Structure 1
Amino acid sequence: MANKLLRLSRRHFVGGVVSTVAVLAATAGFAAEPIKIGLVTALSGQSALAGEAISRGLTIAIDEINAKGGLLGGRMIELVRRDDEGNPAKGVTAARELIFREKVAVLFGGLDTPVSMAIVPIINQEKTPFMGPWAAGTGITKNGADPNFAFRVSAVDEIVDVGMLDYAQKTFQAAKPGMILVNNPWGESNEVGLKAALDAKGMKAVGVEKFQENDVDLVPQLTRLKSAGADVLFMVGNVGPSAQVVKSLDRMGWKVPVVSHWGPAGGRFTELAGPNGKDVHFVQTYSFYGKQSPVGERLIAALKAKYPAIKSVADITPAVGVANAYDGMHLAALAIAAAGSTDGDAVRQGFYKIGSYEGLIKTYKAPFAPGRHDAIQANDYVWAQFIDNRIVPVGLKD
């Protein structure tokens, strides 16, 4: 009898130890569960270079966060990527997979305004915070939702459009601008913004012309703008069609200043546009050329160490993809930390709790608030052009 009781006691003791170990293991496993960050962007096609730049900016920021112990008591950050190929339908499919299957805490949306605009209703419906590191369509963050889960560290069309007009007037003494715009929601966003900027100064465009993404001859549209007397062209389009604008101007022999949104920076613009691609002036949020802040120097060193193909700042291209994603990831991490969890609505409110953060593009001070979901403002832009296939600030020789 005594032996039987002893066996039972041992069995209960061993069982209790096993149960305790299982609970501890499960607790440790939960504590170590990674926090997933999603990325939907173009990783193939003519804009793949820009998609990779966004990936690299996110990756370096994530490495820095993880090296300091991660978030929420030691949980590591993990990046999960999907290729949208610049296609809104594929972007929506990718976003749904990352939200529902991967359970991402924050979804980064990549390059194209039409793709981001297609994703935004989903993230608002599913209460998944969204961070835009590239697409500039005004309606991405000003989408009418309440609560609004879309945030951005990138250019914003309505702000860029004011800058394009100011720059054209100061640099080229423009008085009769014409518009050559891609025929999609991004072009529409900028048409609205440019007309508003012109109206504010009592000006009007001499003409507005549209093109499709796959157009290879824009001479008819440009001829109409020339006949209307345009003394500067405001251009909005991604790499391929923007290159076709330049080539069509070459065929016409029309030397007119081109002031562009940042579409040409997204890929092989100089290769596609030819030698006169260098004459296009376009907006940027950051450049790795010139004197860098300590954050910039640290990031350049980290990129060179992680990606052997990067030998100099000329290889960090397009710079805005790296810079916007890097700062966006650090701000998202601060929002998660402020939330104390990965709950979507808590993280959304966490963005409003960010105080001061010394980033790459600038030192952010309360960058987000209800009704203000764009961290980059008018005085944060620089103007650039291609010099020897390098995106260099206008007037800077190195």
Structure 2
Amino acid sequence: MEKRRLYMDYSATTPVKKEVLDEMMPYLTDYFGNASSFHLFGREAKSALDKAREQVANLVNSKTNEIYFTAGGTESDNWALEGVAYAHREKGNHIITSKIEHHGILHTCEYLEKHHGFEVTYLDVDSEGKVRIEDLEAAIKDTTILISIMFANNEIGTIQPIKEIGEIAKKHKILFHTDAVQAAGNIPIDVKELNIDLMSMSSHKIYGPKGIGALYIKTGTKLHTFVHGGAQEKRRRAGTENIPSIVGYGKAAEIAKANMQNHIETLTNLRAKLIDGILAKIPYTRVNGSMEDRLPGNVNFSFEFIEGEGILLMLDMLGIAASSGSACTSGSLDPSHVLMAIGLPHEIAHGSLRLSIGDFTTVDDIDYIIGQLPAIIERLRSMSPLYDAAMKNK
């Protein structure tokens, strides 16, 4: 009997939808021109580039010329932070972020601190993973040039109070960047309404190709050039454009916008079924993150007395793909910095499992997980001295 293949790791990456691939294929074969060329082949590529830029802009209600294509979310994060830091050094050297950011933000902040003398405040979060607005206001200094708070967390799915953060930044005349890699295309975003100055996005989280993303830069925002060379991306990010992937990203953004309400409703219902089923069947289990302000496809459990690596291995043996947190840090044995930041002790943070749901997840898939996971947890706990000790002390 063939082993079942069940993908429950949509937060790490998504498959490319057929409509997206169909849109891309001609630009890998017939329409292969360089968008900077003046001849027919170049004009065809330039037209496709312009269309995709408009599609991505429409997804977040920005102006078309405020979308700059990058190689993905991490590059967009680096560009936003370094670009603002270097361009506004004469005003100040202070950046505010949070302790639960993606490492694309955290490691860039550490680099700016260590090598360029910038000061970074890392805000604590509450038990749901939310930044406290009063903490943010208290952290602002005369030298603060940037606030960078992620839109929604990649591990626990918590959505931040972005509108309030944007209002505070605007009031204090501080630039506001948000890493919206997990959010853009999965929940509605209006950059104008939310007072966002810069926003990182990525194609492969919304059923587009990997290696392509975008940085929204509000008109008038002073930002250093990230890649020097040609005139591409208004001379701010040089290099021949990856037209096939950009076309794919544009199509994925168009589909995401058209499908948004159904996407949210379907995933939210599947998520509720999964959470209810697991909590009913597995004791000593908690759901991490906010239950109200949460990405529709994100579920993050902590199972006491065991480690997440064992869960992942046993799920993988059944053909089920999941994760214990961010795919970018999956090689690390340290507990998740996000789970530690929301106050979980090491031993509980180690027993985390992220199951993320997507557009190809079915009710049968959820039932299968609910049917298989309890036996895995029970088996691992039967081998755990922590569980044995806890049961004896009951």
Q: Same fold (TM over 0.5)?
A: no
Of structures 1 and 2, the one with the larger relative CO (CA 8 A, separation 6+) is 2
Which is helix-richer, 1 or 2?
1
Shorter-chain TM-score bucket reads 0.3 to 0.5
TM-score of the superposition, structure 2-length normalised? 0.33
